[in-house]
Amino acid sequence: MSFGELAIKSSYDSDDDDILNDFYIPVLNNSVEYCRLAGFFFSSALAVAARGVQGLLKNDGKMKLVAGVVFKKEDINAIKEGLEKPEEVIKRAAINDIDSIQDEFVRNHVMALGWLIAKQKLEIRIAIVKDKNGIPMDMQTIS
């Protein structure tokens, strides 16, 4: 199915729409690349959108994320391990079938994060906001 065949609205309102099921999952199921800019990222988002991520991976797709510096320690560890020891992470995750990915991501989203990094299916870049003098700003300063 192409994007033109999807029932995509021009805008979504979380008060009125089920954005996950009406937008993200159908679009990810029909995508080969997902680029996102986020102030923060937690691996639990993978569990929530597992069905859409599964579709993206079935299409041999990749995700690219630019996020702020706010990460949970367990997510940082999973990212580091996925980068430094990809073979171990892939073996331990034991995800052999794309059809089982959704369940695995829901069951252990931290492991899923490391697996995506190890399989080079997720690229993460960190964005640091700086003031006019080049000094990094924290969330309170930005607000």
Instruction: Summarize pLDDT for 89-126 with one digit per residue, the tens.
Output: 999 887 877 777 888 888 899 999 999 999 999 999 99
Alpha-carbon torsion, ordered 135, 127, 69, 103, to 10 deg: 180
Q: What is the pLDDT of residue 5?
A: 86
Check residue 124 and give its pLDDT. 95
pLDDT at residue 143 above 80? no
Residues 6+ apart with CB under 8 A from 129: 68, 136, 137, 142
Check residue 131 and give its pLDDT.
83
pLDDT at 40: 85
Alpha carbons 15 and 51: distance in angstroms, whole number: 22
Taking the chain, what is the end-to-end CA distance rounded to the nearest angstrom?
42
Count of CA atoms in the C-beta half-sphere (13 A) of 130: 7
- Residue count of the chain: 143
Order of strands across the sheet that contains 62-70: 33-40, 62-70, 122-126
